[in-house]
Amino acid sequence: MDFEPYRDELVAYCYRMVGSFHEAEDLVQETMLRAWKARDRYDHTRASLRTWMYRIATNTCLTALDKRTRRPLPSGLGTPSDDPGAPLTPALDIPWLQPFPDTRFDPGTRTDMRLALVAAMQNLPPRQRAVLVLRDVLDFTAAEVAAQLDTTVPAVNSALQRARATLANTHGIDEISEPDDPKVRATIERYARAFEAADVPALVRLLTQDAILEMPPVPLWYRGSHHYGLFMRRVFDMRGTGWAVEHLTANGQPALAAYTPEPGGGHRLHTLQVLTITGGLVARNVVFADPAVFRAFDLPERIPAGDFGPGR
């Protein structure tokens, strides 16, 4: 009995459930172990192996989520700041939402992985979250989900209705930015060039009026191109010019790894930025400075002088 073909999609599923890539990998490993121990009890006449694996993964996630606080982004915790000079004090006691490293997994696993959507899903009760993902993302039938959750079809349908209603009232989750769209690529290229040059006016011209900038694990966040620009001016005043960026994707969205220049030459990893593009402009930038996130994306901590070239 081979469970490995399901590993990637199960990691994506567990990530949607718990909001942490590293925890999702651990939960899938536990799922594989549970499945191996229970392999003699698997009955192919009652469910496919994939459905059975999702039942184990769901129970594993629900157990992990029991009595646990949700993983938020800063914008989900309070009002935006209007002080570009506010202290950048990390809140390390908060289990922040993490991004998902696309390139490490099969593209087929990344449906509906947008960061804002995953963040909104963290507000749902865990069982509603499971029903929503299993039904709306993974296309399991109501009967299959009922069996996976040891409940009834009417209960599944009711939970799905409540979950959809909650998400319908959440702003920004329908914003989609496909990294391969030529218009999106052009916007990202212009943003990257402006960022590398520390050109704040050029960056601001690429923002929507209500653009959001947030920086977990720092709990403060900014709304609006004006405050976004003021904060970026502070960053460049502190770190200087001559930045370098590496293009990648996260959660099915365009992303940039930003490297700050070092006095002796070369560049050092500063942040991973996950961007949402709407109408050819940047509507949201979630900037991660967590070393654990860097490791998940296999990002080098330092790039020697001369190693950044065209198209990197």
- Total domain count, the chain: 2
> Could you tell me the pTM of the whole model?
0.92
* Mean pLDDT lowest among 2-6, 130-134, 169-173, 216-220: 169-173
Structural domain harbouring 260: 182-303
Are residues 42 and 9 part of one domain? yes
Question: Looking at the domain assignment, is residue 297 inside a domain?
Answer: yes
Q: Which of 149, 92, 157, 96 is nearest to 293 (CA)?
A: 96
Average pLDDT, the chain: 91
Question: Looking at the domain assignment, is residue 15 inside a domain?
Answer: yes
Tokens found for residue 312: 């990197």
Are residues 235 and 156 part of one domain? no
Are residues 103 and 14 part of one domain? yes
Please count the CA atoms within 13 angstroms of the CA of 178 that sit on its side-chain side.
Answer: 6
Q: Which of 165, 172, 244, 267 is nearest to 212 (CA)?
A: 172
- Which pLDDT score, from 0 to 100, does residue 173 have? 63
CA distance 210 to 282: 10
pLDDT digits (tens, 9 = 90+) for 226-253: 999 999 999 999 988 899 999 999 999 9
Give the CATH number, domain containing residue 150.
1.20.140.160
Question: Looking at the domain assignment, is residue 79 inside a domain?
Answer: no
Are residues 142 and 241 part of one domain? no
pLDDT digits (tens, 9 = 90+) for 49-63: 999 999 999 999 999
Could you give the angle at the alpha carbon of 173 between the alpha carbons of 127 and 257, nearest 5°? Answer: 105
Are residues 214 and 132 part of one domain? no
Question: Looking at the domain assignment, is residue 308 inside a domain?
Answer: no
Q: Is the pLDDT of residue 312 over 50?
A: no
Are residues 196 and 136 part of one domain? no
CA distance 260 to 174: 32
pLDDT digits (tens, 9 = 90+) for 64-108: 999 788 899 999 998 999 999 999 999 999 999 999 999 887 766
